[in-house]
Amino acid sequence: MKTLVAGFFLTLMAVSSALADWVYVSNEKDNTISVIDTVTDEVIKTFPVGLRPRAIALTRDFRHLIVAASDSDTVEVVDIANDTVVASLPSGDDPEQFALHPNDRWLYIANEDDALATVVDIKTREVVAEIDVGVEPEGVAVSHDGKWAIVTSETTNMAHWIDTGSQSLVANTLVGQRPRDAEFTEDDGKLWVSSEIGGTVSIIDTASKQVTRQITFEINGIPVDRIQPVGIALTRDGKSAFVALGPANHVAIIDQQTLEVKDYALTGRRVWHLSLTPDESRLYTTNGISGDVTVIDTHSGKPVRSIKVGRFPWGIAILPEAHIPE
The residues spanned by each domain of the chain are 19-323
The stretch 233-248 carries a mean pLDDT of 98
The stretch 179-190 carries a mean pLDDT of 98
Tell me if 140 sits within 8 A of 108, measured CB to CB.
yes
The stretch 189-204 carries a mean pLDDT of 98
Residue 288 has phi, psi (to 5 degrees) of -60, -55
What pLDDT was estimated at residue 10?
A: 38
**How many residues are listed for the chain in this entry?**
326
pLDDT surpassing 50 at residue 239: yes
* Mean pLDDT over each residue of the chain, to the nearest integer: 94
Given pLDDT bands bounded at 50, 70 and 90, which one contains residue 6? very low
pLDDT in tens, 278-289: 999 999 999 999
pLDDT surpassing 80 at residue 31: yes
What share of the chain has pLDDT > 70, as a percent?
A: 94
Tell me if 233 sits within 8 A of 254, measured CB to CB.
no
3-class DSSP state of 16: helix
pLDDT surpassing 60 at residue 13: no
Residue 228 has phi, psi (to 5 degrees) of -125, 95
Tell me if 90 sits within 8 A of 81, measured CB to CB.
no
pLDDT surpassing 90 at residue 19: no
The CATH number of the structural domain formed by 19-323 is 2.130.10.10
pLDDT surpassing 60 at residue 11: no
What share of the chain has pLDDT > 90, as a percent?
A: 91
User: DSSP letter at 5?
Assistant: H
What pLDDT was estimated at residue 112?
A: 87
pLDDT surpassing 90 at residue 18: no
Residue 143 has phi, psi (to 5 degrees) of -65, 155
DSSP assignments along 152-201, one per residue: EETTTTEEEEEETTTTEEEEEEE-SSSEEEEEE-TTSSEEEEEETTTTEE
pLDDT surpassing 60 at residue 78: yes
Given pLDDT bands bounded at 50, 70 and 90, which one contains residue 17? very low
pLDDT in tens, 32-67: 999 999 999 999 999 999 999 999 999 999 999 999
pLDDT surpassing 80 at residue 263: yes
Give, for 303, the enclosing helix (H) or strand (E).
Answer: strand 302-308
The stretch 145-164 carries a mean pLDDT of 98
What pLDDT was estimated at residue 326?
A: 84
The stretch 252-265 carries a mean pLDDT of 98
Spatial distance between the Cα atoms of 292 and 295, rounded to a whole number of angstroms: 10
Tell me if 296 sits within 8 A of 282, measured CB to CB.
yes
Q: Which residues of 273-299 are buried (b: 16+ CB within 10 A; e: fewer)?
A: bbbbbeeeebbbbbbbebbbbbbbebe
Sheet containing strand 158-163, edge to edge, reads 137-142, 148-153, 158-163, 168-174
**Cβ neighbours of residue 142 closer than 8 Å, sequence gap 6 or more:** 99, 100, 101, 102, 108, 148, 149, 150, 164, 184
User: DSSP letter at 114?
Assistant: G
User: Of 11-25, 118-132, 209-223, 272-286, where does mean pLDDT reach its minimum?
Assistant: 11-25
What pLDDT was estimated at residue 9?
A: 36
